């Protein structure tokens, strides 16, 4: 269905599988065998909107991700996981990748349980979350639809999001849980936004500290200049800004030397 290449050339050297992707593939394959051997047992792990919250069967929000409605459904989801999950896990690391995958999948299950009335199986919500992340992190990568038609990842994400939104609004009755697909993208967008703004805030704080240490108002050289002025001319000679800098410096060094006082 899908293959990938960058904006300049086709890639014939796919990245290796990470432990997270391998683990999901293995567990999903195991659950599929359970569906074949003991379908009655597997049915208890389906996401059932009528029982997941009413009867507090919250484990269904996780287990439904490993069940699939037939081999083709299983193959499509695992193939997309194989195609996109490898690079995302390399980019993020296994822990962060698994957090994102299950956040999208469980979030998709929550929305499905709230707004749907039919039992649902499949990792499609988490998979759509991965597709969103891939489009955000690698927007100009080309994805070959049916291995023929090249489309940039960022455009494909928009196309899929719009399609799932309208399919959800129309309630097409095609047997596909479009709310699950859309829910995975929504929760994926939320987590990506949290990570982005958290990283931005951390970067700004680090930049401010570096600025202070290398030449800003709180730099050691400036503090020494102000202290020399106090020793030479007295505290009364300081400007309001210089007094504020000394107060801030005193608090900073007090916290660093006496962390128990924080």
pLDDT tens readout for residues 182-240: 889 999 999 999 998 877 665 566 655 555 554 566 667 677 777 877 788 877 887 88
Helix, strand or coil for residue 142?
Answer: strand
Query: Is 242 a residue whose pLDDT tops 70?
Result: yes
pLDDT of residue 4: 44
Query: Is 175 a residue whose pLDDT tops 80?
Result: no
> What is the token pair recorded at 11?
């890639």
pLDDT class of 48 with cuts at 50, 70, 90: very high
- Mean pLDDT for 24-32 is 95
pLDDT of residue 197: 86
The whole-angstrom separation of Cα 45 and Cα 22 is 22
- Phi and psi at residue 257, in whole multiples of 5°? -90, -20
Query: Is 158 a residue whose pLDDT tops 80?
Result: yes
Query: Is 167 a residue whose pLDDT tops 80?
Result: no
- Residue 128 burial (10 A CB sphere; 0-12, 13-18, 19+): buried
- Phi and psi at residue 150, in whole multiples of 5°? -80, 130
């Amino acid at each position: 269905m899908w293959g990938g290449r960058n904006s300049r050339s086709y890639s014939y050297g796919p990245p290796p599988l990470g432990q997270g992707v391998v683990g999901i593939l293995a567990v999903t394959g195991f659950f599929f065998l359970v569906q074949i051997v003991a379908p009655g047992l597997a049915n208890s792990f389906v996401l059932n909107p009528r029982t997941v919250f009413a009867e507090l069967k919250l484990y269904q929000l996780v287990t439904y991700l490993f069940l699939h409605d037939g081999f083709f459904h299983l193959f499509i989801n695992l193939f997309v996981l194989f195609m996109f999950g490898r690079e995302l896990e390399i980019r993020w690391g296994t822990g962060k990748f698994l957090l994102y995958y299950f956040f999208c999948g469980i979030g998709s299950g929550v929305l499905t349980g709230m707004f749907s009335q039919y039992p649902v199986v499949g990792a499609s919500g988490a998979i759509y979350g991965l597709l969103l992340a891939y489009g955000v992190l690698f927007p100009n990568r080309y994805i070959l639809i049916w291995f023929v038609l090249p489309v940039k990842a960022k455009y494909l994400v928009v196309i899929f999001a719009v399609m799932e939104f309208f399919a959800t609004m129309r309630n097409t009755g095609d047997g596909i849980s479009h709310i699950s697909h859309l829910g995975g993208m929504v929760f994926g967008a939320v987590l990506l936004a949290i990570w982005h703004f958290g990283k931005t805030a951390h970067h700004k704080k680090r930049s401010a500290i570096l600025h202070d240490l290398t030449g800003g108002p709180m730099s050691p050289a400036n503090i020494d200049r102000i202290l020399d002025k106090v020793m030479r001319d007295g505290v009364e000679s300081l400007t309001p800004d210089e007094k504020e800098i000394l107060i801030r410096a005193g608090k900073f060094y007090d916290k660093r030397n006496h962390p128990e006082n924080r």
